Amino acid sequence: MAIEVCGGQKLSGEIRVQGSKNAVLPLMAASLLCEGRTVIDNCPQISDVQAMQEVMQGLGSRITFEKHSLCMDHSHFERCCICQDKVRELRASILLMGSCLARFGEVTIAYPGGCSIGKRPIDFHIQAFRQMGVTIEEEEDRLCCHCEKKIHGADIILPFPSVGATENIILAAVLAKGETTIQNAAREPEVVELCCFLRQAGAHIAGEGTSRIRVKGQKKLHGIPWRVRGDRIVFLTFAMLIAGCGGEVTLLTEDLFSEKERAVWHHIGGDEEIRERAVILHKTGAIQPIRYLNTGPYPEFPTDGQSLLLPVLTKANGVSTIEERVFENRFHMIGQLQKMGANIDSVSNRARITGVTRLHGADVVAQDLRSGAGLLIAAAMADGTSSIKNEEYIQRGYEDIVDNLNHLGIRARYC
């Protein structure tokens, strides 16, 4: 399927920002460690959550998902062979490795899938689990892991502050024997949310949000109710849409800008008003170019946000340079933006974007989740009609995206 978008409209209206995809997937893996029921509210209705739900149900979990409320009971979760086809479609399925090792001391798991934004190896995860006493055999399409005794704590230094590796180690460490220290840990808000959830479920964790996290293993955790935070990348998507098209939009959510994102938003000419449960974003006037910006681990500008900013800068009043430092394939979307008339050169991981360009409608193809969202932004900014193929990528992370675009005054439909 594809999404067809008629561009060139200024935006207005009010929409709700969904719960965070990258927070809820680790929370689902964490719920496996909790005795009793875990209920997660504000859960986004997106295909990545559905895929994780199917994987867990296939292993015996009882899960209901109604009106953004995900209710999970894993007392019948038995099998430790996580090799269904769905596992290969989902990057976050690797987090079941940490939870299963903590709960059962063994797991066989297929290599995870996810968007093709780079090589996405899992060597940091494997190395850390070996330090925690796990024997891991790496087969062609799966990993076979077991511990002689209970998994134990370790002092782990990550070569890069990987979000997934930090989360996976925490999940294994909360029920491990002894203490675990993670140095060069990821500081992303989703890591912080995972730690807060686990602490409320009975875990002993300190230092989340810094690069040194300490975990003291406990005997058991219990299920809790939890409300997941708003999705900061979806929030940024709407901000970039407003930056590209102009107008004023009320986002029903808490303020989800990081310091760096807010600085970029103000630099390109955006403004905001923060209310109790809403943020009003507005943009008038010319888009200012960004002389240089690099992506990086939190608190730097997020790599996911880069694909959203790139189309906006094609309309800036001068030349911008962006350096991608996390995923090597994020610039794949440049070829698609060029089809729409964008003036972008890239060498290795640097892109030089020359504005002002008038984008025109074209048939383009999403190659991953955020490039799909970036192409939606470009299509909304363009003159004429565009069609974005591979919209399944967009469904992985955006709930009701076509309805939301229509609410804001952009004519869009599935075709």
Tell me: does residue 411 bind ligand UD1 (CB under 6 A).
no
| Residue 130: CB minimum distance to ligand UD1, A | 12
As separate numbers, helices (DSSP H) first and strands (DSSP E) second, the chain gives: 13, 26
DSSP letters along 303-334, please? HHHHHHHHHHHTTBSSEEEEE--S-TTGGGGH
Q: What residues between 134 and 163 interact with ligand UD1 by CB under 6 A?
A: 160, 162-163
Q: Is 18 in the site for ligand UD1 (CB under 6 A)?
A: no
Q: How far is the CB of 9 from ligand UD1 (least distance, A)?
A: 29
Distances (CA, A) of 181 to 15, 152, 214, 365: 41, 12, 5, 43
**Distance in Å, CB of 298 to ligand UD1, minimum:** 7
**Identity of the residue, 213 or 287, whose beta carbon is nearer to ligand UD1 in the bound complex:** 213
Assess whether the previous peptide bond of 299 is cis (omega < 30° from 0): yes
Under the binding rule (CB under 6 A), the answer on residue 125 touching ligand UD1 is yes
Contact flags string 298-337 toward ligand UD1, x per CB under 6 A = ----xxx---------------------xx----------
Taking the CA atoms of the chain, what radius of gyration do you get in angstroms? 21
Q: Is 115 a catalytic site residue?
A: yes
Q: Identify which range of 11-19, 252-260, 282-290, 297-305 contacts ligand UD1 by CB under 6 A.
A: 297-305
119 binds ligand UD1 (CB under 6 A): yes
Q: Looking at 43, 100, 115, 145, which residue is catalytic?
A: 115
Binding flag, residue 118, ligand UD1 (CB under 6 A): yes
Whether residue 366 contacts residue 378, with contact meaning beta carbons closer than 8 Å, is answered with no
Q: Applying CB under 6 A, does 344 fall inside the site for ligand UD1?
A: no
Non-local (6+) Cβ contacts of 190 within 8 A are 20, 22, 23, 26, 163, 167
| Comparison of 321 and 329: residue with beta carbon closer to ligand UD1 | 329
Residue nearest to ligand UD1 (CB): 164
DSSP state of 177: B
Q: Which residues contact 314 (CB under 8 A, 6 or more apart)?
A: 337, 342, 343, 344, 353, 355, 357, 359, 378, 381
- Which residues sit at the interface with ligand UD1, rule CB under 6 A? 22, 25, 91-92, 118-125, 160, 162-165, 190, 302-304, 326-327
Active site residues: 115
